Amino acid sequence: MEQLIRKIKGMVSLKAYIKQRDDLHFITVKKEQLELILSHLKNNEGFTHLAFLQAVDFIEDGKFQLTYMLCNYETNVNLGVLVLIDRDKAEMNSIHSLWAHAWQYQRELFELYGIDFPGSPRVHESFVLEGWDEIPPMRRDFDTLEYSDQTFYQRPGRSTNDPAEYMKEKMYKNYAASPMIRRDNE
Amino acid sequence: MSLATQIFYAVISVTVATAYGLTLGGITRKIYARVHGRFGPPVWQPFLDIIQTSGRRVSVSHGNMFLLGPVFRLAGGLGTYLFIPVIYGSAVFSNFSMAGDLLLVMYFVFFGQLGMALGAGQGGHPYSPIGIARGLAQMSTFELPFALAVIAVAIQYNSLNITSIVAAQQGGFMNWTLFTNPLAVVAAMISLLGMNMHSPFSIVLAPQEIPIGPPIEMNSGFLSILQTNRGLFAAAKLVLFMNLFFGGATNLLEMVAKTFFIYMFSVFVGAAYPRFRPEQSFRFFLKWPTIAGILSIIYIAYLGGTS
Amino acid sequence: MSNLSKCKYRGYEADRSKYPEMENGKAVIDLDSHKYTKIWQGPQHPGVTGNMSVELIVNGDEIVHAKTHVGYLHRGFEKLMERRKYIQCFPLVCRICVPEPDTNEYCVSAAMEDLAGITVPEKALWLRTLNLEMSRVASFLMWIGGQAGSLGMGTIGQWTVGMRDFWLDLFEEMTGGRVYHMYMIPGGVRKDLPAGFKEKTRELITRTGKLMDDVDKSFMSNVIVKSRLQGLGIITPEMVDEYGIVGPNARACGRECDIRINNPYVKYDQLDVKMITSTVGDAYARAQIRYQELRQSLDLMSQILDRIPEKGAIQAKMPNLVNWKIPAGQTYIKAESTRGEHGFYMVSDGSEKPRRVFARGASYTHAIAVLEKLAVNISLSDLAALMVSLHTCPPEIER
Amino acid sequence: MNKKHMDEIENQMKLANAGIPEKERDLFADARPVKVDPFNKYYEGFLNWARSRSLWMLAFGTGCGAIELRPLMTSRYDMSRYGIAPRPTPRQASVFIIGGYSSIKTIKRIVRSYEQMQGPKYVIALGSCTINGGMYYDSYNTINRLDYYIPVDVYIAGCMPRPEALIAGFNRLKEKIRAGECEGMNEYTEKFDWYKSNQKQIIKDWNMPDYNW
């Protein structure tokens, strides 16, 4: 694996490399070099299986992180290729020519995150939502509870308790002194 | 016998046959359930179903032909039944049997399905024309061995009158067509499987493919007519088969016993087999049963048979 | 193993390549010409698996175009999990795939353990293995029923789903839940085995084995089943990588990809798991592989029952789960469900709620890209059988 | 009032089937549903007895509740001994089982299927999520209260409700039918506008006819 990372470093500028487990590694590459590295990994390094393509919303940094999870069936190693793209005007190159099922993920990402993949087939078709007119729901600035309260009729009588508070009040009145509770040590 | 008495007898006969056919349907469900390892619905469940469907308050029609579909179907069932002598020698159950009735009955067996095809087509649901196409295609394929078997029987007994065919089979079970011309019975019994539309020939109603096909839009009263017909028609077919191949019946008990076993043949095949693909079903009917039918004619006409 | 040349009715099949006319590599389908009919198979249709729909254009009985529509079961699990604390996610994750919820539970708890660096005690791992295998058996039993039902043979479905119910009883005894178990929580499992559980399981294994003998006689070796499934929906080895096909669907055409063997998790490295493959790739080969895997799962379970340690902790020492904060990081945990690679991708930002949880279900590609490809040029009557033979499970597609 | 004026008023009451294209509009009904009163007491009583013993449920697994319908249908619990049978088409079904949560996309199909069923029709709602949203109360894509969109006769609480609970729910429905209390069909007709406005509030792209019968 180290050999492969060295090789990739020679090809593209590697922004970060994390080894999570023996069989799971993450590399971060530049947006422009993604297609190059993916096709190299697929064609020459045996990472033939695209397990998924998903996005993570880092709203604080104004970035989306796209994760391309590849799998090598010979060495049984998973490699996550990460790309950071801008959150506003989110757009990414389509990889539908590399894997025949990649367009599905791209269609889902367009609908749930609003990330556009120009050229990807059926990317603007609705996937799981019908007639959605709000901001894409998986973005972190979309408040699903507020939307649900406004749109669907809540039946009165539901109450929500913060479990920590609730336990403190009802079950363990002397919470601080209780030896039964292991608190986190942060 | 005056016409009025005859009509009165026919009403009794039709009522008994319908009730018997529906009970058979209930027994079928019970047997299926037992094969499945279940308790199963009560035997009188089909009667409750008919009351329930006819008692709906709303009913949607799609036009005149749609209305006529179930009516044609019931007419087919009635027509088939009314020209078959049910019990040999009984005044009440001899119906309108006459010379050459076998041809008329053959016609009526397939009449209902044609009428249904006209009616269901107007429902507008895409699955009904697909179901009709399958149904008519399958009908014309299982009609072939059945017709061949009937021709063999007609040659054998030199008659197109069911009553005289039954009469010729009296006097011991060795006179039944089952034993005098077994090949014709094989051909006919296989085509009965197709007629009864149990698996593996249930391609018309196939719920997993075209959710129950032609009657998909039938509701309320229309459906209850179809259900009634299902009981009557099942009884009519079984009685026809009993008369042609199993020596007829001289009393009600014998009729019940014989038809029950004829019906259970297709029920047990149905419980043990999955469904054919339409083209497989067509090819199946055009193969072995047709060959058996042709051989039976050769056996009777050229080899002399045993009669 | 079946052979394509043995396929009885194959020679009769009409040449379907002439429909529709191809133009520039794209099918030209003129609906107004009344040559084609548009049919929506589902969501209200007894032949589709779960609540999804396939938009079909048929020419007679032949499908010339298929398009999958999902989203009828979309609940936004991933969004909901972002709003919940880690331990509150557990009631949600098991509902992602209803017939086989335990793989979800395992993946999420393993992902949390991986991120937080928790080692699970030995006995808990064995119990997890047992639970995962039990859920595989339950799911396969349901699948056999579905495959038989899609061919119109309700009898097998009644037998196997009835048998599955006894497995659900065992689940209830073990975990307290019939369908949703929430058994594997971070750090281990919730409960030890109840008294007498092993004997009951062994007895049920024998009963299921006997039922499988009956199924083999009446379903797997049935002439009509063979004639319908052989040659249906052939997946070629080239398609496996192209479409991301996993699990039994990929093993049926020769790809050796079983995560239990390739990347052993829980205790599979100490068990005798065999790779079951075939080279044919049609629906019948898939059915046989699933049938044999069910047999193997029963066998594995006897091995597990012999080797579960009597004593030992079932829970690692955990911080207070109510305020549990997991260090920042990301991980991907995959496990072999009955449909193939089932994985969870979890990103933590150091707070007490996950930043992102993504469930990768095997059906995601099977039900959309693969189904749309394989459904073309088959008969309308085979679509239900094809969908079941790909083992699609809609809730894990749309989540 | 002259006839033209009457027509105008009637037209204002009508919904326009606005969701479907112009050329297809005459394929669908454009009449409001009418309230159909029960037959006379004794006949209706007899019919109700038969209806309660022959419940045809629509085979539409709308949610994860469908998973417990399978044990109910098969040999362990066998609902057929109570006269309950699955029916593949809404035209023939009389009981609609809503299997748990329903997303926006599904509620659209539920409304259509429900309207296509021929009355009297009954609705059984499974699971906590049909009562108040259950654990999906904050989801952006699932409804919280089913009774705002179609009339519900019996709720079965639980997640999942066990087959025994389903049988109990069916028995409760039978009791209600026999007592003549299941008039959900007429309720829907009377409060048609209210139901329609609720439905249209959540179903954003209303590309279906307003009347489905």
Give domain limits for chain A: 2-154
pLDDT at A148 over 60: yes
pLDDT tens readout for residues C61-102: 788 888 888 888 888 888 888 888 888 888 888 888 888 888
Which subunits have 3 or more CB–CB pairs within 8 Å of chain A? C, D
Q: Which two tokens stand for residue B132?
A: 């009709």
Are C65 and C83 within one domain? no
Q: Which two tokens stand for residue A50?
A: 């695209």
Residues with Cβ within 8 Å of residue A125, at least 6 apart in sequence? A107
In a domain, B306, yes or no: no
Average pLDDT rounded to a whole number, residues C371-383: 83
pLDDT at B264 over 60: yes
Are C92 and C20 within one domain? no
Angstrom distance (rounded) from CA D128 to CA D142: 12
Query: Residue for token digits 């699970």?
Result: C120
Residues with Cβ within 8 Å of residue C319, at least 6 apart in sequence? A182, A183, A184, A185
Judged by average pLDDT, the poorest of B202-206, C336-340, D29-33 is D29-33
Q: b/e string for C271-305 if b means 16 or more Cβ within 10 A?
A: bebeebbbebbbbbbbbbbbbbbbbbbbbbbeebb
Judged by average pLDDT, the poorest of B21-35, B202-216, D50-64 is B202-216
Q: Mean pLDDT score of chain B, rounded to an integer?
A: 83
Question: Which of the two residues, C131 and D210, has the higher pLDDT score?
Answer: C131
* Chain C nearest-CA residue for D66: C50
Give the structural domain span for B294.
3-301
pLDDT at B127 over 70: yes
Neighbours of C99 (CB within 10 A): 25
Are C125 and C24 within one domain? no
ipTM comes to 0.85
- Facing C98 at nearest CB: one of D64, D88, D113: D64
Q: What is the pLDDT of residue D7?
A: 63
pLDDT at D166 over 70: yes
Radius of gyration for the alpha carbons in chain D, expressed in angstroms and rounded: 18
Whether residue C258 contacts residue C275, with contact meaning beta carbons closer than 8 Å, is answered with yes
Question: Which of the two residues, C391 and B250, has the higher pLDDT score?
Answer: C391
Q: Which of B12-16, B255-259, C141-145 tops mean pLDDT?
A: C141-145
- pLDDT interval class at A174 (50, 70, 90): low
pLDDT at A186 over 50: no
Angstrom distance (rounded) from CA C204 to CA C223: 29
Neighbours of B4 (CB within 10 A): 8
Q: Phi first, then psi: what are they for A131, rounded to 5°?
A: 65, 35
Whether residue C269 contacts residue C303, with contact meaning beta carbons closer than 8 Å, is answered with no
Q: What is the pLDDT of residue B17?
A: 85
CATH class, domain D64-202, is alpha beta
- Facing B209 at nearest CB: one of C154, C159, C381: C381
* Chain D nearest-CA residue for C157: D74
- Facing A158 at nearest CB: one of D104, D132, D203: D132
Q: What is the pLDDT of residue C203?
A: 92
Picking from C69, C100, C126, the residue at the C-terminal end of a domain is C69
Average pLDDT rounded to a whole number, residues B55-67: 80
**What single-letter amino acid sits at C345?**
Y
Domain count, chain B: 1
Q: Phi first, then psi: what are they for D127, rounded to 5°?
A: 85, 155
Going by C-alpha positions, the residue among A113, A18, A4, A71 that lies closest to residue C333 is A71
Q: Kind of pairing, strands C340-348 and C356-360? A: antiparallel
* Chain D nearest-CA residue for C165: D71
Strand order in the sheet with D84-87: D84-87, D55-58, D95-99, D122-126, D154-156
In a domain, B178, yes or no: yes
Q: Which two tokens stand for residue C378?
A: 């088959």
Angstrom distance (rounded) from CA C376 to CA C57: 9
- pLDDT interval class at C391 (50, 70, 90): confident
Q: What is the pLDDT of residue C3?
A: 39
E strand or H helix at C175, and its extent?
helix C154-175
Going by C-alpha positions, the residue among B169, B133, B139, B141 that lies closest to residue B153 is B169
Residue B47 sits at the vertex; the CA angle it makes with B41 and B51, to the nearest 5 degrees, is 120
Residues with Cβ within 8 Å of residue C55, at least 6 apart in sequence? C38, C39, C40, C41, C66, C67, C68, C69
Interface test with A, best of C53, C85, C365, C374 (most A CBs within 10 A): C365
Domain A2-154 sits in CATH at 3.30.460.80
Q: Do A144 and C76 touch (CB under 8 A)?
A: yes
- Facing A148 at nearest CB: one of D108, D131, D138: D138
Q: Which residues of D touch A131 (CB under 8 A)?
A: 104, 203-205
Q: What is the pLDDT of residue C206?
A: 92
Q: 84-103 in D: which are within 8 Å (CB) of B?
A: 85, 88-89, 91-92, 94
- Facing B274 at nearest CB: one of C45, C151, C380: C151
pLDDT tens readout for residues D169-180: 999 999 998 888
Whether residue D76 contacts residue C162, with contact meaning beta carbons closer than 8 Å, is answered with yes
pLDDT tens readout for residues D99-122: 888 888 888 888 888 888 887 889
Are C165 and C16 within one domain? no
Picking from C19, C38, C69, the residue at the C-terminal end of a domain is C69
Q: Is residue A170 within 8 angstroms of chain C, CB to CB? A: no
Judged by average pLDDT, the poorest of A179-183, B103-107, C184-188, C382-386 is A179-183
Q: 34-93 in A: which are within 8 Å (CB) of C?
A: 48-52, 54, 56-58, 65, 67, 69, 73, 76, 78, 80
Coil vs helix vs strand at C229: helix
Residues with Cβ within 8 Å of residue D56, at least 6 apart in sequence? B49, B52, D84, D85, D86, D87, D92, D93, D94, D95
Task: Give the predicted TM-score (pTM) of the model.
Answer: 0.88
Judged by average pLDDT, the poorest of A59-63, A137-141, A173-177, C191-195 is A173-177
Reading phi first (left if > 0) and then psi (alpha if -120 to 50, else beta), residue B215 is in alpha
- pLDDT interval class at C13 (50, 70, 90): very low
Q: Mean pLDDT score of chain D, rounded to an integer?
A: 82
Average pLDDT rounded to a whole number, residues A81-94: 86
Are C32 and C86 within one domain? no
Residues with Cβ within 8 Å of residue D64, at least 6 apart in sequence? C73, C95, C98, C395, D99, D100, D101, D127, D160
Angstrom distance (rounded) from CA D161 to CA D130: 12
Write the secondary structure of C279-310 as one string of H (helix), E (strand) and C (coil).
CCCCHHHHHHHHHHHHHHHHHHHHHHHHHCCC
Residue D166 sits at the vertex; the CA angle it makes with D160 and D168, to the nearest 5 degrees, is 135
The domain that holds C242 is classified in CATH as 1.10.645.10
Going by C-alpha positions, the residue among D92, D120, D108, D118 that lies closest to residue D213 is D118
Specify which residues A86 forms β-bridges with.
Answer: A63
C326: Cα within 13 Å, side-chain hemisphere: 27
Judged by average pLDDT, the poorest of C20-29, C190-199, D22-31 is C20-29
Strands (E), D75-196: 84-87, 95-99, 122-126, 154-156
Whether residue D79 contacts residue D167, with contact meaning beta carbons closer than 8 Å, is answered with yes
pLDDT tens readout for residues B221-237: 888 888 888 888 888 88
Q: Which residues of B touch D81 (CB under 8 A)?
A: 38-42
Q: Mark whether D and C touch (3+ CB pairs within 8 Å).
A: yes
Q: Is residue D35 within 8 angstroms of chain B, CB to CB? A: no
Give the structural domain span for C12.
4-69
- pLDDT interval class at C7 (50, 70, 90): very low
- pLDDT interval class at D6 (50, 70, 90): low
Are C199 and C283 within one domain? yes
- pLDDT interval class at D8 (50, 70, 90): low
**What single-letter amino acid sits at D98?**
I
